[in-house]
Structure 1
Amino acid sequence: MEANFGEYIRKLRTQNGLTLTQLGAKLGIDSGALSKIETGKKEFDEACLPKLATAFNLDLESLKSELISEKIAYTLYENKCNESVLTLAEEKVKYIREKNTKQTTLKL
């Protein structure tokens, strides 16, 4: 992955010989918005991930992980959090999964 998700998209687009307009059409967004995404001035909409995966024949889950991890990293950076927050977040994710698994099991 590149330094940020937008740069990754630009690299994919240029390597495949697509213009901003062409890729924007494939993703359902205008070229101006795509340009802002590529330069890091606008966030990529997670709803467009399936189209991006299809456009470049990429694994959707890997793309989703890259995008979400970037969002988490920026949130941690902007809030001046240390790495311990990641451990806490992992514990909370486990708790949420267990809670939802138990609720699903009880409903059956």
Structure 2
Amino acid sequence: MKSFADKIKNAREEKKLLLRQVAAALEIDQAIISKFERGERKPSKEQVERFATFYNLDKTQLITDWLSDKIAYALYEEDNFTEVLKVAEEKARYLKNKSK
């Protein structure tokens, strides 16, 4: 299963781009992009959207990969992660309905 980091690194390598070329195009420091690609730092949603546009990747899928990575890393050491996910889903549905 590929992570967000894997996807953006693979996209860059497939296009045969150097980190500095991507950094210049996205106006993000080269060292930060390198950390994104190694999974050492998490980008903002805006940055994820910029990567999707730049690499011509499906924005919804890339955001899903990014968010699921954040959730997985927050929960992977918890024994009750399944229960936490169920409760979080219920809360998200409640908040979504409340905001309508």
Instruction: Give the C-alpha shift of residue 84 in structure 1.
Output: 1.2
- Is the Cα–Cα contact under 8 Å of residues 50 and 60 in structure 1 kept in the other structure? yes
Instruction: Give the C-alpha shift of residue 50 in structure 1.
Output: 2.2
The AA in structure 2 aligned to 1:76 is: L
Structure 2, gaps ≥5 residues long:
none
Structure 1, gaps ≥5 residues long:
102-108
TM-score, normalization: structure 2?
0.88
Q: Percent identity?
A: 37
- Is the Cα–Cα contact under 8 Å of residues 26 and 51 in structure 1 kept in the other structure? no
Larger radius of gyration: 1
For 2:8 and 2:80, how far apart are their aligned partners in 1?
28
For 1:68 and 1:80, how far apart are their aligned partners in 2?
20
Instruction: Give the C-alpha shift of residue 79 in structure 1.
Output: 4.6
For 1:14 and 1:39, how far apart are their aligned partners in 2?
14
Larger relative contact order (CA 8 Å, sep ≥ 6): 2
Q: Deviations over 1:15-38 (max 9, x none)?
A: 001000011122221111111111
Q: Give 1:29's aligned residue.
A: 28
Helix, strand or coil at the partner of 1:83: helix
For 1:33 and 1:14, how far apart are their aligned partners in 2?
17
Helix, strand or coil at the partner of 2:81: coil
1:92–1:8 distance in 2 versus 1, CA, 3 Å: same
Q: Give 1:90's aligned residue.
A: 89
For 1:81 and 1:26, how far apart are their aligned partners in 2?
42
1:100–1:28 distance in 2 versus 1, CA, 3 Å: same
Please provide the CA RMSD for this pair.
1.6
Instruction: Give the C-alpha shift of residue 55 in structure 1.
Output: 1.0
Instruction: Give the C-alpha shift of residue 88 in structure 1.
Output: 0.7
